[in-house]
Structure 1
Amino acid sequence: MSGVPTVTLNNGVAMPQLGFGVFQVPEDETVAAVTSALETGYRSIDTAAIYGNEAGVGIALEKSGIPHDELFVTTKVWNADQGYDKTLAAFDASLEKLRLERIDLYLIHWPTPARELYVDTWKALNKLLGDGRVRAIGVSNFQESHLRRVIDEVGVVPSVNQIELHPLLQQEKLRAVHAELGVRTEAWSPLGQGGDLLKNPVLAEIAAKHGRSTAQVVLRWHLQLGNVVIPKSVTPERIAENFDVFGFELDAADIERIATLNQNGRIGPDPDEFNAA
């Protein structure tokens, strides 16, 4: 995995702690972005059916010539495809677009609680796992109540919960629940959005202290907390910069200062209320 540390999921599967996300990367830019990431050294790629760029990811993976056993590919079932049978069909569609024979990590993208389908969807993911079509299964944007319900009703603990997490939304309570249950925390929008977080004066001071960028400091913070992190970019220089986060370490004072930045402020929707198709 190109020297990137791995975390061990609750079913024994190793997952790179640093990956490359393609959220909001247009389909016509996806091949170039993923190719640049793979050339930089990333081996974990995170996409989703709703992103509309699974095909581009698949082309880049195939063109790279990198064997699948050296890669870790994540995708997600979208809200409109929830339910047992529809999820199985959606998985087949994603697999074809990605040009793969199996997916390493398959996630329920949102609980969409008004649908009352995420338990049946979780059963479908367990079917895929049992059939060997995925190596690990998990969820995304699940709150504690959603997690406990799928565990209680299906008896299988998600390997991962991919949630919005950055210094302005540190999710300390949910991370503690993950630790209790054996669920790995994965951060989406790890650098925030729009660049405002990266202008934060506290982060700028810490970055100057280490001779690093604010983005590198934030990614390093995630890694030291134990989070899996998936920054995205379409710029080769930024892709490389985001990968170069293993040559320094934040000290306890840095971690304490970053802890004070939490505002519990979301960029994305509230998972308890988001039910879009």
Structure 2
Amino acid sequence: ACASHGGEPEHVAIVESMLQTLGLEEGDLACGPQDPLSSRGARFVRESGIRVKRTHNNCSGKHTAMLGLAQYGGWPIRGYERAEHPVQQAMLNQIALWTGVPTSRVEVAVDGCGAAVFGIPLEKMARAYARLGRAACRGEEIPARITNAMSRNAFLIGGTDRFDSVLIEESNGRIISKIGAEGIHSALILDSSIGIAVKVEDGNQRAQFPALVQLLQNLGALPADLPPRLAEFKRKPLRNTRNEVIGDVMMLAEFGSDARRSAAVAAF
């Protein structure tokens, strides 16, 4: 439910198990079929010849959780993805609570997966993550369950060699992060309750990983000498059609000595 998963067999199996627990099936998901995002997941689909299903969609866990919320609230499951549905209204109220943005000022649109999507200022997004971390540190049950689930199940957040999973694993669960569409990325440094939000203006993902890694280094959450798996995300080689390295994608601009003044960072 906290994932943009890679559509690997383990991810699909858990989503299907969740649906079974709810007494529902793939057809109840409002998200469409999607090729797996991870190379391992895509290779499995290709080599096994199985049909790409809605459960392969990277947002299928989130959609299944929405169905569960509809059942819990006693609401109809049909149309759960629409902005006017009680499920989405409940989610909107939670977003307002954690970000401090009134519901009337939250932008509402339709996400790529078909569900409602909520637009808030970048600083408020970072603030929500910081508040989540602080609440978890205080021992509040639901925030603690969410952060523990993410930090202890890194593979389920993204998948094999995907950034969020690698960051959580290489930080030993000290940092949790979640990718979004169009260059959005948020993260939480758990032991200091620092929330971070990054947005690449043109929506290109290749810039957001180097930016987030650099920011985490500036904040002292990651070492200058990165583990090899994380270093690959900070500086990625560009290759031509002959597989020759012709350049690198890297972060050239510095955030400044005080990263809080030059990025969306919030601490509580």
TM-score by length of 1: 0.28
Larger RCO: Structure 1 or Structure 2 (Cα < 8 Å, ≥ 6 residues apart)? 1
TM-score by length of 2: 0.28
